Chain A
Amino acid sequence: MSTRLFAFFILLMLFGIQTVFFSFKNELDGKQELEFEIASLRKEIEREKAKTEIAHYELDSFKQKVAMVLPQNIPQQDYSVRNIASIVSETKPLDIKAKLQFSLIKKTYLKNEFDKAAIELKDYTKTYPESPFVLEAYYLLTMSYYKSSQLESAMKTVDILVEQFPDSEMTGLGLLVMGDILRKQERYDDATEIYKTVKKNFSYPELQKQADAKLEASKI
Chain B
Amino acid sequence: MKFLNVLFFILAFTIEVKVRASEIFLEKIIQTPDHCLQETGYCIIKNLDKKYSYKGESFTLSLTPESIVVRQKQKEFSFVKGQVYIKADTKVTFEIPYGTIEVESDSQVLLEKYEEKVTVQTIFGKAFLKPLGEKKPILVMAGHENYISQVGENFRAQTGIPKPIIIEPLLKAWAYHVEIKKEKFLEDVEAFKSIHEKAVQELSILNEQIASREIASVKSEKLAREERAKKSKEQKEKMQNIYYQRLLSE
Contact = CB atoms under 8 A, between A and B. Distances in A.
Interface of A: 7, 11, 14-15, 18-19, 22, 32, 35-36, 38-40, 42-43, 46-47, 49-51, 53-54, 57, 60-61, 63-65, 67-68, 71-72, 88-91, 110, 139, 143, 169, 173, 176-177, 180, 206, 210, 213
A60 B97 CA distance: 6
B200 interface: no
B153 A90 contact: yes
B250 A15 contact: no
29 contacts: A11-B6, A11-B7, A18-B10, A22-B14, A22-B18, A36-B25, A40-B25, A42-B26, A43-B27, A46-B48, A50-B30, A53-B46, A53-B80, A53-B81, A54-B44, A54-B80, A57-B80, A60-B97, A60-B116, A64-B132, A64-B151, A64-B157, A67-B151, A68-B157, A72-B155, A89-B155, A169-B240, A210-B247, A213-B248
Contacts of B116: 60
Interface residues of B, number: 41
Given A32-B21, A68-B132, A68-B151, A47 B30 contact: yes
B103 interface: no
B3 A11 contact: yes
Contacts of B250: 180
A207 B18 CA distance: 92
Contacts of A91: 153
A106 B59 CA distance: 69
A64 B150 contact: yes
A88 B150 CA distance: 11
B151 A173 contact: no
Given A50-B30, A169-B240, 9 more contacts: A11-B3, A22-B18, A43-B27, A46-B48, A57-B78, A71-B155, A89-B155, A90-B153, A110-B242
Interface string B31-55: 0100000000000101010000000
Nearest to A183: B250
Contacts of A51: 32, 44
B157 A11 contact: no
A11 B243 contact: no
Interface of A is mostly: helix
A78 B68 CA distance: 40
Interface in B1-30: 3, 6-7, 10-11, 14, 18, 21-22, 25-27, 30
B91 interface: no
Interface in B109-161: 116, 132-133, 150-151, 153, 155-157
Contact of A18 (B11, B32, B48, B244): B11
B101 interface: no
A43 B27 CA distance: 7
A32 B10 CA distance: 22
Interface string B60-85: 00000000101000000010110000
A206 to B, nearest CB: 6
Contact of A173 (B14, B26, B150, B243): B243
Contacts of A32: 21-22
Contacts of B3: 7, 11
B156 A68 contact: yes
B172 interface: no
Nearest to A69: B155
B155 A68 contact: yes
A84 to B, nearest CB: 14
Q: Which of B14, B27, B244, B247 has the most CB of A within 10 A?
A: B247
Contacts of B155: 67-68, 71-72, 89
Given A11-B10, A15-B10, A64-B98, A50 B153 contact: no
A54 B45 CA distance: 11
A149 B105 CA distance: 82
Contacts of A67: 150-151, 155
Nearest to A60: B97
A35 B132 contact: no
Contacts of A40: 25
Contacts of A38: 25
